[in-house]
Amino acid sequence: MPELPDVEVFREYLNATALHKKIEKVHLTKERILKGVSRTTLSRRLKHREMAETSRHGKHLFVKLTDNGWLRLHFGMTGFLRYYKRDDKALSHVRVQIDFANGYCLAYDNPRLLGQVGITANPAEFIDNAALGPDALKDFDLERLKELASGGRGMLKSTLMSQKKIAGIGNVYSDEILFQAKINPRTEIADLGQSRLDTLHNAMQYVLKKAIECRADPQRMPAAFLIRHRKEDSHCPRCGGDIKKIKISGRTSYICPDCQKL
């Protein structure tokens, strides 16, 4: 699930719960989730410190530790955060649990283990090393989209989902953006004229902002959002036609063939 809007909501959640609290202990139940850091280093970096601030780039959440680098969280397909009192009923797939002195903890839960937990000196360094593109919401103006369109080739949907070109958009929100912009996901990016690039850019900003506003919860999103109709045999909220499920590079995509003509 976690794409840019979801991770932004996690960030706000962490800000509202776990910030500025003394860390007492770190429980790591699945070492596999760690990336580029050892169990002991993770524990040493966190212990006796506090989470001072957060930042997000694409689907990565960064948490600054007082005087000691940044914790990095990536959520894969099934990760999420939960802050609760330690004696409350435990979640089923907690991979990292950070205990605070106040008796509460922040749990990183991730059933499928496809995410990553790491430590980095600072977000900029990680973003650079990973060669991530600009954040789709914070750093992606119309000019950058035009640059991307003039430089590259390929299907629009693949471009939107490429983290090295634009960071933060995944399968669900690329479908949503293309649906709102009325553009077919197989459109060649080089074939987009100025007016459609403009439309696409507006749709990106609108969809991502609106999704965050709705706390990344499809139920709260406008009825005109495709995300509420991601199943077979459903109807386009705009024209009433049949929503189609197609495969693009092995990923499931939902489109309205009438609104999104090639």
Partner DNA sequence: AGTACCACCTGACGGC
Partner DNA sequence: TGCCGTCAGGTGGTAC
Q: Which residues bind DNA (CB under 7 A)?
A: 1-3, 32, 58-59, 74, 76-77, 92-93, 111-114, 130, 152-155, 158, 161, 163, 170-172, 218, 227, 248-252
Q: Is 197 or 248 the residue whose CB approaches DNA more closely?
A: 248
Least distance (Å) between residue 125 CB and DNA: 15
Least distance (Å) between residue 132 CB and DNA: 9
Q: Is 240 or 250 the residue whose CB approaches DNA more closely?
A: 250
Q: Is 103 or 151 the residue whose CB approaches DNA more closely?
A: 151
Least distance (Å) between residue 92 CB and DNA: 6
Q: Is 85 or 247 the residue whose CB approaches DNA more closely?
A: 247
Q: Is 18 or 248 the residue whose CB approaches DNA more closely?
A: 248
Q: Is 6 or 50 the residue whose CB approaches DNA more closely?
A: 6
| Residue listed under structure tokens 């007082």 | 66
Least distance (Å) between residue 195 CB and DNA: 22
105: CB partners within 8 A, 6+ apart: 83, 84, 86, 97, 98, 99
DSSP letters spanning 17-59: HTTT--EEEEEES-GGGB-S--HHHHHHHHTT--EEEEEEETT
- Tokens at 14, concatenated: 């962490």
Q: Is 170 or 201 the residue whose CB approaches DNA more closely?
A: 170
Least distance (Å) between residue 83 CB and DNA: 22
Least distance (Å) between residue 67 CB and DNA: 28
32: CB partners within 8 A, 6+ apart: 113
Pairing state between β 116-120 and 70-74: antiparallel
| Helix H or strand E encompassing 97 | strand 94-100
Helices (H), the chain: 4-17, 39-46, 123-129, 142-151, 156-161, 171-181, 194-213
- Tokens at 12, concatenated: 């706000």
Least distance (Å) between residue 163 CB and DNA: 5
Helices (H) and strands (E) in the chain, counts: 7, 10
Other Cβ atoms within 10 Å of 55 Cβ, number: 16
